[in-house]
Structure 1
């Protein structure tokens, strides 16, 4: 049997399994109440971070910059996140369920122009026409769901964005990348990299290699299958390769990490007992070890090493570095696995709930002996790590993360920081007690090859003034605060992840 036929047959079996136990199960409705959330919002204005958008589109809106933008800083920050939570008196109870809205913040001529658009997935268009949610969701049981043909019929395209080969894609966990117009943000449709790979998962965290190509994965196991699909996409947006690897046992993963030589996947063990939606049916299993799969980029058709390591639940990774046969991976460990199943669940209901920031830990992998262990850095109160990908992967990078600093009115981040675990240094800028700080993307300075020579660009929500904004900071002097900020005359909910596309 040739390799492509083998791959197609394996994917076919995994897809059938995926559509069986996870996506095609329904039960009685368990959801939030829009009136209850509205009452909570009046008492706790910070809940605007989980409020439904007021319209399907925003802008284009141009606002002047406060401060001075660096002369060579030019491009567009794209952001994505769940934004449509309510229909017909029914509110999702899980943050991950909201339909995606992509934002474009375009910098130029001393101003910022913002535009926001809901991603017009089949799910969003079908439910808009029906006037109610009628599609199975990741974390909320929806009553009387309609039949779906494949994963893209339930795709919310709500987690991240990326530009590959000059084309813009909205990404989620369980389906295709959805292509958008990079200027108007209009939805073009799902991307099929190859006919036999149609509608298979293309995760929200692709990683660009130094040669310009992109690596990504699709977690078939989280949908009931038993495989890890590894994608390799060229810098021109054409598929180079796709391979499926047997996980052995079900393992959850949201992101992965790379060195110059290897891809590293951390699989969190879970049990699945159908009881509604995927996250309602899932129970992470801290009594079992996590599995680590390492794949050599030069031989992506096989697993170079498998490790077992103490259980850890993590959504997001920082960097990874490799020397002398050892790989070190930095990741954000979530201590409360129940909260990890539904982050900020209280906020989705309009209630006040505890913050759930992660702790930075390091995974040490000995490629020769097969031994693996965790080491704590002693650093916590952070999430959504970013770093300069130009950093050589034989040493650790500086990480840039939102964090908490000083008094705050919300159980969410209100500051941004730089941390260098190897040197024990930290620099923090606090935006204020009423400002929610999101992920800050690192933007390299054009023409420079020095690691960390560049800027951070991050989005903000000022809930006291009910406005969303954006800030640009010098990555080498985070403590000095923004070089430039801009505020819109309106607000929208918190998102998840972003991508900066420099002006050509």
Structure 2
């Protein structure tokens, strides 16, 4: 796409590429905060609001962390859930807090800081919520002046050139100092891209090239980015997508970008009527799960295939091979039958209630670009937060690390697993009945099997624990653990940076 055409489309998208919100008149206070405070469930610590930043604190270490995991585990998630007696109505709404676990053999230290976005700074100063959020319309909210005025920077992190980019769905990445976690301001890839959505799941090719996207729901546009390993923008464009769905993640292969698009479709009329961004979406299963495949070299070459209707947040990985019938793309992702989890499950935890939705399953799909046919197979494993060896992004892989073991009395998962997506064989480690698992990442170790590193909320002891496993002996349990003297709010995604 020519630069002139990109500028025209960006201008037509307006200042708010994700939301075109309608301010709601002031109303009476609701009882979500009171219900949360009154609940006796010990796991609610995972959804509590730390009153301040968390200074660098030494953990209690059992065992020794391997040399290959010497470095920093970065994590981020929603943490500022309530303000001025008002509580958000969705887990994804909270102001982001970024964490770093500095690992050095027998020594592990933790630090956490809120991302000082313009939104958080203005609201903390005012002592109340000023803007709408993903799933909440607080009373008396003001129309935002830009997408970044409502940016919560709470979903994922991308280490880049000595900094950390704190990522959200609907606006700019936010620059954070990798050593101090001080907020440095928004990342603008190019002046005409200021405020454009830069999504939370960029993919990094083995050669260091970064690929990402952003969704402009109101305008039906999908933004595409290609960024060089040194952090400079190579290309950006927007492409139109009819019936724009909620897209959280994507995959890359050696030659393609792959978007699985659930039939959760944006309805601008609902937004104009005052709905939150989430509630402006409608479930339209007749659309199926559309799979948009875009050529990496020529973004004008696009193909749409269709899978059975379903919902997803996260993709593991994708790879391609050539057959007599054409190019096959294999992609594994976490599939649910519907979107109940985002509408109900992830809302009710904000008042300390468990409402179970359909169980997400690790699923492997095959897209035949020659015939235009798409098929899939669900594996036996309940799953979320899939991660692979980062050296295999876009390449053939077999092993996926993921959370598993759903319990009816708790939100989330209680175990970590490593599953072979070709054979279906899986090994797991259960953290016990008083634990809630967060995302675990794979850490390479040369030609050795590597390590699995991640955190869990031990709500029985009201502490957060960092664990390290031998990747090929996950069921044997952690080789080392670091226990913090406090519990952190449950987060979303992270990244490991070697020392």
**When the two structures are superposed, what TM-score results if normalisation uses the length of structure 2?**
0.93
Match of 1:81, SS? strand
Task: Specify the alignment match of 2:485 in structure 1.
Answer: 489
Quick one: distance in 1 between partners of 2:285 and 2:41?
34
Find the counterpart in structure 1 of residue 310 from structure 2. 312
Q: Is the 8 A contact 2:439 2:493 kept in 1?
A: yes
The 5 Å alignment of 1:273-352 reads: 273-274=270-271, 275-299=274-298, 301-324=299-322, 325-352=327-354
User: 2 CA distance for matches of 1:72 and 1:157?
Assistant: 29
Contact preservation (8 Å) 2:100, 2:111: yes
Change in Cα spacing, 1:349 to 1:170, as seen in structure 2 (3 Å) is same
Moved more, 246-255 or 389-398: 389-398
Once the 2 structures are TM-superposed, how far is the Cα of residue 291 of structure 1 from its aligned partner? 2.4
User: After the TM superposition, which residues 293-442 of structure 1 pair with which residues of structure 2 at under 5 Å, given as runs?
Assistant: 293-299=292-298, 301-324=299-322, 325-354=327-356, 357-373=359-375, 375-391=376-392, 395-404=396-405, 410-442=410-442
Aligned position for 1:13: 12
- The match for 1:241 among 213, 235, 245 is 235
Instruction: Indicate the residue corresponding to 2:256 in structure 1.
Output: 262
Cα-to-partner distance string for 1:224-282 (whole Å, 9 max, x where unaligned): 12111011111111111101111122122000011111110122231422342111222
- Matched residues in 2 for 1:392 and 1:125: separation? 37
> Using a 3 Å threshold, how does the CA distance of structure 1 residues 151 and 394 change in structure 2: closer, same or farther?
closer
Choose which of 164, 168, 177 in structure 1 pairs with 2:160: 164
Could you say what secondary structure the match of 1:344 adopts?
helix
Match of 1:252 in 2: 246
1:209-228 correspondence runs (5 A) = 209-221=205-217, 224-228=218-222
Taking a change above 3 Å as real, the CA distance of residues 314 and 32 of structure 1, as seen in their structure-2 partners, is farther
Deviation, 1:28, is 6.2
Aligned to 1:443: 443
1:477 counterpart (473, 478, 482): 473
Give, in whole Å, the separation in 2 of the partners of 1:295 and 1:378: 27
User: What is the CA RMSD across the aligned residues, in angstroms?
Assistant: 2.0
Report the Cα distance in structure 1 between the residues aligned to 2:220 and 2:321, rounded to whole angstroms.
32
Choose from 173, 182, 189 the match for 1:177.
Answer: 173
CA distance in 2, matches of 1:186, 1:329: 37
**Whole-angstrom CA distance in 1 between matches of 2:137 and 2:187:** 28
Residues 409 and 486 (structure 1 numbering): CA distance in 2 closer, same or farther, change over 3 Å? Answer: farther
SS of match in other structure, 1:169 = strand
Query: Structure 1 residue 191 and structure 2 residue 190: aligned?
Result: no
Are positions 1:456 and 2:452 aligned together?
yes
Inter-CA distance 83–338: structure 2 relative to 1 (3 Å threshold): same
Given candidates 57, 78, 81, the residue that maps to 2:77 is: 81
Choose 327-336 or 92-101, whichever is displaced more. 327-336
Distance 2:223 2:460 in 1: 44
Unaligned runs of 5+ in 1: none
In the superposition, relative to structure 1, how do residues 61 and 17 fare at CA in structure 2: closer, same or farther (>3 Å)? closer
For the 8 Å contact 2:67–2:105, the answer to whether it is kept is no
Distance in 2 (CA, whole Å) between partners of 1:276 and 1:409 is: 31
- The superposition leaves residues 30-53 of structure 1 with CA deviations (integer Å, 9 ceiling, x where unpaired) of 85521210111xx21011111122
Q: Which moved more, 1:115-124 or 1:279-288?
A: 279-288
- State the distance in 2 between where 1:204 and 1:23 align: 21
- Alignment check: 8 A CA contact 2:345 2:354 kept: no
Gaps of 5+ in 2: none
Change (3 A) 1:127 1:394: closer
Closer, same or farther: CA 184–12 of 1 in aligned 2, 3 Å: same
With over 3 angstroms needed to count, the CA separation of the structure-2 counterparts of 1:219 and 1:32, relative to structure 1, is farther
SS at match of 1:236: coil
Aligned residues: 489
1:292 deviates by: 1.8
